[in-house]
Structure 1
Amino acid sequence: MTQTALITGASRGLGAAMASALAPTHHIIAVAKTTGALEELDDEITAKGGAATLAPMDIGNDAAMQTLCRGIFDRWGSLDMWVHCAIHAAPLAPTSMIDAKDMSKSIAGNVAATATLITYIAPLLGTSGKAVFMDDPVAGQSFYGAYGATKAAQIALARSWQAETAKTGPQVHIATPQPMPTATRARFHPGEDRSPLANPADEAARILSEING
């Protein structure tokens, strides 16, 4: 039976690299808001002999995610892996100047949507599936108030789920990627020398090795 992997935030960076790395062994269900980037990912996966289902949608759209998860159940009956790379990266700003709309979007995208997705996806993973979250330990650093606080809250949700399912499954993994030359990092650090940064494909391979080791 074909294994399945749902990648939220699959269009670029580490999400796309994780999808590409899993493509030889999994049918990839790729979720992102950017249709063109998903189509490029699909071409890459097809070139490797893999197959993907593209789902151009916002993870904060409850109705769309409900429909997607029901579609996964109807087609495959379950899900083997969920890799959550979707993130809302609010602009860096002094904590005393965080824009209210940026904070609201950060809470909605990084915390509320993640909590809702766990409730939808947990039944699909059952006791044997795997969920993978990506930590970014910038909480408390200067100017990272909106992003850092909501990313830390997202990982707190993952750690609670991890503790609750340690004996029963699904397996919940929390990885900490090395800094990579992603679009998100470019927004935070424009003009930095990107040559020392880790390659997303290498990080994807490392994370999967840790998970499966």
Structure 2
Amino acid sequence: MSELFKGRVALVTGASRGIGRAAALALAAAGAHVVAVARTVGGLEELDDEIQAKGGTASLVPLDLKDGDGLDNLGFQLFERYGRLDILVGNAGILGSVSPLGHIEPRDWDNVMAVNLTANWRLIRAMDPLLRRSEAGRALFVTSGAAWKAAAYWGPYAVSKAGLDTLVRTYAHETENTAVRANLLSPGPIRTRMRAAAMPGEDPETLPPPEAVTPAVLRLTGPDFGETGKVFDLREGRVLAFRGPA
């Protein structure tokens, strides 16, 4: 275990699998205490076992992100225990229906917006006071190229990610005169369960694993990373000031 992030407290959502799990493992290996949030208790316990085996530490939080009161309570608990939050990684998300807009059931639309957009607003609302108490608060949210490509049949997911982009960039403007930095990471196609559901005919072995994302996560959540309100495109390997046309 390294000491790059020693003493820092990092909250990761969707931490039981995929990119969230890889991010949690990388942050713990770099010395951070990870607060791992996910709905799946078994997945969290497996994550905790691996973190401990490598000499790291974690706190497990089984929580549905649609539970806004639960997020508020988590913020209170973190304040009581640590007095601050140094790193927030908003990774959890769902794909929803891949279907023409006119065929999508309202409950499916609402569910995608609740998880991918509203929950992240509630997360910011709950964790903002804690991030401001850090000497270098870092908020990083996982977005997608779908947010600006506006591809057919990806409506709910694309709209939710476009909303997330604007949400995080707004938060970045609101905190630009503080020690908080808020950015977005667009990882591109990664070998995850969500990608397999979206592209069932694709060979997953042709895609990079979730661990390929972790160097960018560590860079963008590090105390020395000073940019804010940007989108980091992993495929391009650069920080973008804003999204351009497809």
| Superposition TM-score tier, normalisation by shorter sequence | over 0.9
Aligned pairs for 1:47-86 within 5 A: 47-86=53-92
Residue of structure 1 equivalent to 2:101: 95
Distance 1:210 1:131 in 2: 9
- Structure 2's unaligned 5+ residue stretches are 1-5, 226-246
Matched residues, number? 213
Aligned pairs for 1:176-187 within 5 A: 176-187=186-197
Tell whether 2:187 aligns with 1:195: no
Aligned pairs for 1:169-180 within 5 A: 169-180=179-190
Note if contact 1:89-1:184 (Cα within 8 Å) is conserved in structure 2: yes
Q: Would the alpha carbon gap of residues 134 and 146 (structure 1) be closer, same or farther in structure 2, given more than 3 Å must change? A: same
Residue of structure 1 equivalent to 2:176: 166
Deviation at 1:68?
1.2
Deviation at 1:190?
1.1
Tell whether 2:162 aligns with 1:152: yes
Residue of structure 2 equivalent to 1:26: 32
Tell whether 2:12 aligns with 1:7: yes
Instruction: Give deviations 1:94-145, integer Å, cap 9, x for gaps.
Output: 1221121110101111221111111110001016210001120213111100
Distance 2:23 2:13 in 1: 10
Name the stretch that deviates more: 153-162 or 189-198: 189-198
Instruction: Give deviations 1:64-101, integer Å, cap 9, x for gaps.
Output: 11221111111111011000001122021112211211
Q: Which amino acid aligns with 2:80?
A: D
Instruction: Give deviations 1:136-194, integer Å, cap 9, x for gaps.
Output: 02131111001111111112100111122223231112111131111111111113111
Tell whether 2:214 aligns with 1:204: yes
Instruction: Give deviations 1:25-76, integer Å, cap 9, x for gaps.
Output: 1111000001111111111101110011000011111221122111111111
Note if contact 1:91-1:188 (Cα within 8 Å) is conserved in structure 2: no
Note if contact 2:15-2:38 (Cα within 8 Å) is conserved in structure 1: yes
Tell whether 2:143 aligns with 1:138: no
Distance 1:115 1:107 in 2: 11
Q: Which amino acid aligns with 2:125?
A: T
Percent of aligned positions that are identical? 38
Q: Compute the TM-score of the two structures, normalised by the length of structure 1.
A: 0.95
Note if contact 2:139-2:221 (Cα within 8 Å) is conserved in structure 1: no
In the TM superposition, structure 1's runs of 4+ consecutive aligned residues that sit over 3 Å from their partners are 210-213
Aligned pairs for 1:105-124 within 5 A: 105-124=111-130
Distance 1:115 1:88 in 2: 16
Q: Would the alpha carbon gap of residues 207 and 2 (structure 1) be closer, same or farther in structure 2, given more than 3 Å must change? A: closer
Higher relative contact order (CA 8 A, sep 6+): 1
Deviation at 1:19?
0.2
Q: Would the alpha carbon gap of residues 79 and 211 (structure 1) be closer, same or farther in structure 2, given more than 3 Å must change? A: closer
Q: Compute the TM-score of the two structures, normalised by the length of structure 2.
A: 0.82
Residue of structure 1 equivalent to 2:244: none
Q: CA RMSD, aligned part only?
A: 1.5
Q: Which amino acid aligns with 1:46?
A: Q
Note if contact 1:132-1:172 (Cα within 8 Å) is conserved in structure 2: yes
Note if contact 1:91-1:187 (Cα within 8 Å) is conserved in structure 2: no
Note if contact 1:137-1:152 (Cα within 8 Å) is conserved in structure 2: no
Deviation at 1:14?
0.4
Q: Which amino acid aligns with 1:12?
A: R
- Structure 1's unaligned 5+ residue stretches are none
Distance 2:82 2:89 in 1: 17
